[in-house]
A and B are shown apart, each in its own frame.
Chain A
């Protein structure tokens, strides 16, 4: 070890980790600029640190055993009907309040003539304008370029869903739409269909066959979430999607 005498090993590693104050960090940067051996030493420690992240980092994407999720789910405190209703009202209220100038919203309705829902369901079978595979960055770029809306891609990872595909649909009413497909480790899927608002502020939960559907719309964004899941899980997905889109 041949650090210059004024640099301890502890300081050197604190420098590598960005833990030094700027004055001390500048001192080490200047020393490294003059001393090739010191610069190489810093680079090699940095490389080791990055290698740890590179080797172990991808493990986070390994599918989780269903048994773990079942063990945890069995320990969930049962929700009473009153609690469920209150939870639903809270989500409905938050969705409605977020809409600027919202004056009313529907709650737990299953409308017959339903433009945004019909459009989202049709999108399941229609040809897409484009499909890409990618993470949140791709989704956000697509949302921004396709819809020109100030929304983030929903992050559903807390509930075990990972973004798998970004689909763009052309020629829907008033422009284009984006559907984000998420999958879980145990192959459950959630589709989040996002488009510009069609106008009416609403929050609906309904079921079509095995598919649970949540529709919410404020005066900026219209969203339809679809997946084969319980009402409770759909509420959690909708709540997380809503908060992460606007957050």
Chain B
């Protein structure tokens, strides 16, 4: 893909600085390192093409994640149409690369469980638990009310526990 528009040093450096975090987020969201790299590559290209849509430089990370979310949803829809499913062997291979050996089984459980959640639940778990956003920042990034962030997060955490095969300790 040829990017003809040229960008300021500030934009280029901000984009470069976000790459490692964006790739981590994409990998966690998709559960597949190869797919994540494809997503980030597409995200870079789209960001360079749509740079004028960035309103505030201090929201660069959120803007990139929004692009990535759209690309990911497009990809999921394409797969649904084609009947492609996630191969759990990919998830295990991926975890084997990134996880310390001592807690390997638990990490595989987590990745499998994450992969089984809806996009919205994975997204909110990662924005809070991995990206460290506070509720207000999540609400702004997702354009939803704070109450929705709170209820969605509570449901997501319950479903994560259920997907990991753990009984709620209160039950």
Whether, in the assembled complex, A113 has its beta carbon less than 8 Å from a beta carbon of chain B, the answer is: no
Chain A contacts for B157, CB-based, 8 A: 13, 45, 48-49
* Minimum CB–CB distance for A6 against chain B, Å: 15
**Cβ B169 vs Cβ A158 within 8 A:** no
CA distance in complex: A48, B162 (Å) = 12
The closest CB in chain A to the CB of B109 belongs to A51
**Cβ A1 vs Cβ B170 within 8 A:** yes
**Cβ B3 vs Cβ A52 within 8 A:** no
**Cβ A17 vs Cβ B3 within 8 A:** no
Contact of A60 among B24, B147, B169 (CB under 8 A): B24
**Cβ A73 vs Cβ B12 within 8 A:** yes
Chain B contacts for A160, CB-based, 8 A: 16
Whether, in the assembled complex, A12 has its beta carbon less than 8 Å from a beta carbon of chain B, the answer is: yes
Name the residue among A12, A56, A72 with the largest chain B CB count within 10 angstroms: A56
**Cβ B169 vs Cβ A44 within 8 A:** yes
**Cβ A53 vs Cβ B129 within 8 A:** yes
B interface secondary structure, majority: helix
Report A72-96 residues with CB < 8 Å from chain B CB. 72-79
Whether, in the assembled complex, B28 has its beta carbon less than 8 Å from a beta carbon of chain A, the answer is: yes
Report, as a range, how many residues of chain A touch the other chain: 35 or more
Whether, in the assembled complex, A55 has its beta carbon less than 8 Å from a beta carbon of chain B, the answer is: yes
CA distance in complex: A40, B23 (Å) = 34
Whether, in the assembled complex, B160 has its beta carbon less than 8 Å from a beta carbon of chain A, the answer is: yes
Chain B contacts for A58, CB-based, 8 A: 98
Chain A contacts for B170, CB-based, 8 A: 1-3, 37-38, 40-41
For B, the interface residue count at a CB cutoff of 8 angstroms equals 54
CA distance in complex: A68, B161 (Å) = 36
Whether, in the assembled complex, B99 has its beta carbon less than 8 Å from a beta carbon of chain A, the answer is: yes
A interface secondary structure, majority: helix
Whether, in the assembled complex, B95 has its beta carbon less than 8 Å from a beta carbon of chain A, the answer is: yes
**Cβ B98 vs Cβ A55 within 8 A:** yes
CA distance in complex: A40, B128 (Å) = 21
**Cβ B129 vs Cβ A49 within 8 A:** yes
Stretch at the interface among B61-69, B70-78, B148-156: B148-156
CA distance in complex: A65, B44 (Å) = 12
Contact of B15 among A3, A10, A72 (CB under 8 A): A72
Whether, in the assembled complex, B37 has its beta carbon less than 8 Å from a beta carbon of chain A, the answer is: yes
* Minimum CB–CB distance for A247 against chain B, Å: 15
**Cβ B169 vs Cβ A37 within 8 A:** yes
The closest CB in chain A to the CB of B36 belongs to A59
Contact of B23 among A59, A69, A76 (CB under 8 A): A59
The closest CB in chain B to the CB of A63 belongs to B20
* Minimum CB–CB distance for B169 against chain A, Å: 5
Whether, in the assembled complex, B6 has its beta carbon less than 8 Å from a beta carbon of chain A, the answer is: yes
**Cβ B20 vs Cβ A52 within 8 A:** no
* Interface residues, chain B, with chain A CB atoms under 8 Å away: 3, 5-9, 12-13, 15-17, 19-21, 23-24, 27-28, 37, 40-41, 44-45, 48, 95, 98-99, 106-107, 110-111, 114, 125-126, 128-130, 134-135, 147, 150-151, 153-154, 157-158, 160-161, 164, 166, 168-171
* Interface residues, chain A, with chain B CB atoms under 8 Å away: 1-3, 9-10, 12-14, 17, 19, 37-38, 40-41, 44-45, 48-49, 51-62, 64-65, 67-69, 71-79, 157-160, 236
Closest 7 CB pairs of A and B: A77-B6, A59-B24, A52-B129, A10-B150, A158-B17, A9-B154, A56-B28
